[in-house]
């Protein structure tokens, strides 16, 4: 595929994690990283500690944003659709694949957010990773306020409403269902790599970092699911 005619691409995102296999702590940025690498589109990175730094290109102050030349494309779902236009036929985006993307971006993401912000076991690591750039007086106050708002949102989403035991029981049941569905070979929909693979991988891989060791171990002990994650990781880690 000739990518020389493509407009220059820049991914606006959060700071690099420094972890192998996890380009971003944002699962939505990670999803875009892996899509771009899989289709072989070269891109630059525009990193910031605070997503609001990219508000010029996305009024919501959220990442990722993909700059396609001068065109700003926010939201990972829209970005994957734009990548499919730039590299036709490389990533399957059937209706079923899009349904799996929705499950990943909503249900799975709720557990990821809970693991980082609501789980007392993980909060000290999350705080250190996400707020290290703040001056000490600010860091003593602001992270706790942001955490409180995040937990309120998790309650409103019914992720944390019944408390931690119910949350992690539901998380385990969802992992069991995904493990039962995970293919023994190939990719999620048995039709080449799809939006479903990228979206599910991004959320699950984001649980397998030092920030959330218990949740990562729960993913890893599902053999079919973890084997599939390994195949997606290998297929998308470097440019094709």
Total tally of structural domains belonging to the chain: 2
Asked if 124 and 219 sit in the same domain, the reply is yes
Instruction: Tell whether the torsion through CA atoms of 171, 175, 181 and 185 is positive or negative.
Output: positive
Q: Which residues contact 87 (CB under 8 A, 6 or more apart)?
A: 1, 3, 39, 40, 41
Q: How many distinct helices (H) and strands (E) make up the chain?
A: 11, 4
Average pLDDT over residues 81-107: 97
Question: What span, in angstroms and rounded, lies between the C-alpha atoms of 43 and 217?
Answer: 33
Q: Average pLDDT over the chain, rounded to whole?
A: 95
CA angle 87, 227, 198 (to 5 degrees): 25
Domain that holds residue 17: 9-86
Last residue of a domain, one of 51, 86, 121: 86
| 123 and 156, same domain (yes or no) | yes
- pLDDT for 4 beyond 60: no
Say if residue 52 is in the same domain as residue 71. Answer: yes
Which of the listed residues 59, 86, 113 is the one where a domain comes to its end?
86
Please give the pLDDT value at position 215.
98
Residue 3 has pLDDT above 50, yes or no: no
Condensed to tens digits (0 to 9), the pLDDT of residues 146-163 reads 999 999 999 999 999 999
Residue 193's pLDDT is 98
Name the residue with tokens 């957010």: 113
| pLDDT band at 117; cut points 50, 70, 90 | very high
So what's the pLDDT on residue 2?
Answer: 46
Last residue of a domain, one of 67, 86, 105: 86
Calculate mean pLDDT across residues 8-19. Answer: 94
Would the pLDDT of 218 be above 80? yes
The three state secondary structure string of 69-86 is CCEEEECHHHHHHHHHHH
d(CA 209, CA 147): 19
Question: What percent of the chain clears pLDDT 70, i.e. is strictly above it?
Answer: 98
Note the pLDDT tens digit of each residue in 184-217. Answer: 999 999 889 999 999 999 999 999 999 999 999 9
Query: Is 2 a member of any domain?
Result: no
109 and 53 inside one domain: no
């Amino acid at each position: 595929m000739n990518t020389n005619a493509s407009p220059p691409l820049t991914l606006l995102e959060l700071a690099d994690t420094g972890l192998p296999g996890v380009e971003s702590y944002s699962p939505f940025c990670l999803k875009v990283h892996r899509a771009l690498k899989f289709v072989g589109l070269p891109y630059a990175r525009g990193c910031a500690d605070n997503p609001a730094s990219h508000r010029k290109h996305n009024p919501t102050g959220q990442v990722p944003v993909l700059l396609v030349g001068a065109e700003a494309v926010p939201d990972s779902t829209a970005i994957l659709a734009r990548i499919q236009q730039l590299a036709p036929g490389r990533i399957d985006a059937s209706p079923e694949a899009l349904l799996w993307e929705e499950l990943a971006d909503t249900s799975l993401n709720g557990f990821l957010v809970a693991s980082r912000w609501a789980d007392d076991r993980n909060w000290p690591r999350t705080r250190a990773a996400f707020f290290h750039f703040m001056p000490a007086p600010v860091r003593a106050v602001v992270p706790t306020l942001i955490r409180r708002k995040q937990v309120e949102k998790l309650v409103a989403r019914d992720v944390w409403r019944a408390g931690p035991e119910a949350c992690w029981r539901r998380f385990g049941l969802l992992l069991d269902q995904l493990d039962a569905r995970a293919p023994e070979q190939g990719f999620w929909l048995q039709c080449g790599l799809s939006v479903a693979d990228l979206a599910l991988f991004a959320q699950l891989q984001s649980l397998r970092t030092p920030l959330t060791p218990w949740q990562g171990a729960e993913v890893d002990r599902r053999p079919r699911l973890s084997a599939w994650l390994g195949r997606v990781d290998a297929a998308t880690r470097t440019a094709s």
